[in-house]
A and B are shown apart, each in its own frame.
Chain A
Amino acid sequence: GAVVSQHPSRVICKSGTSVKIECRSLDFQATTMFWYRQFPKQSLMLMATSNEGSKATYEQGVEKDKFLINHASLTLSTLTVTSAHPEDSSFYICSARQGGSTGELFFGEGSRLTVL
């Protein structure tokens, strides 16, 4: 199947700093990528839909100024957690859709963020 890669897989940062997470589709072009967040023992929560060349669409309750999404190319989307706080510590997962309206959604390995 298609491969979606995230980097870094783990990151620890100090409170108040910003952290950038990259999501790449390695063997296909993805016009749409999705960012999810998962807290321990909970399900994945969709944060935003990232569209190549346009602004991201955020889900209700997700602060767009705190979670900056950039989808600059067909193979790369980035999520920047700005001014991170301990409550932002979570497992962030991206996914990318492989073409077409019935295209499957492939997920990255996830990035675990710990804010001290």
Chain B
Amino acid sequence: DAKTTQPPSMDCAEGRAANLPCNHSTISGNEYVYWYRQIHSQGPQYIIHGLKNNETNEMASLIITEDRKSSTLILPHATLRDTAVYYCIVRVERGGSNYKLTFGKGTLLTVNP
């Protein structure tokens, strides 16, 4: 399975952009990059995913490098409610239309007032 590497923790000031990096140097050409976050004792929340192109939605932006070996999740204006563990995941294809998501240790983002 493709592995991801994330810093264990990061801090960000409220109102500033939070940039969360992720390395996935062994990613294959057809594997998607997903980002989820988990607030304490809750189920993970989907944020965004992408394959090659940069993606943006109402929550965040995902920047994927041209060689696809790394990506950055950007929260444009972090709020205290964005404090959570953020997981960068490479979707592993299992054949047909099946796939699985394997979670790593993630990055604990703490947004400070």
Residue contact A93 to B106, C-beta cutoff 8 Å: no
- Report A37-55 residues with CB < 8 Å from chain B CB: 43-46, 49
Q: Is the CB of A49 within 8 A of B42?
A: no
Minimum Cβ distance to chain A for residue B16 (Å)? 26
Contact code string A17-57 (vs B, CB < 8 Å = 1, else 0): 00000000000000010101000000111100100000000
**What residue in chain A is nearest B102 (Cβ atoms)?**
A46
Complex Cα spacing A7 to B38, Å: 19
Q: Is B104's CB within 8 Å of the partner chain A?
A: yes
Q: How far is the CA of A46 from the CA of B49 in the complex (A)?
A: 19
B101 close to A93 (CB less than 8 A): no
B45 lies within 8 A of chain A by Cβ? yes
Of chain B, the residue at the smallest CB distance from A101 is B97
A6 to B46, CA, bound (A): 17
Which residues of A are in contact with B by a Cβ distance under 8 Å?
1, 4, 6, 32, 34, 36, 43-46, 49, 91, 93, 95, 100-102, 104-110, 112
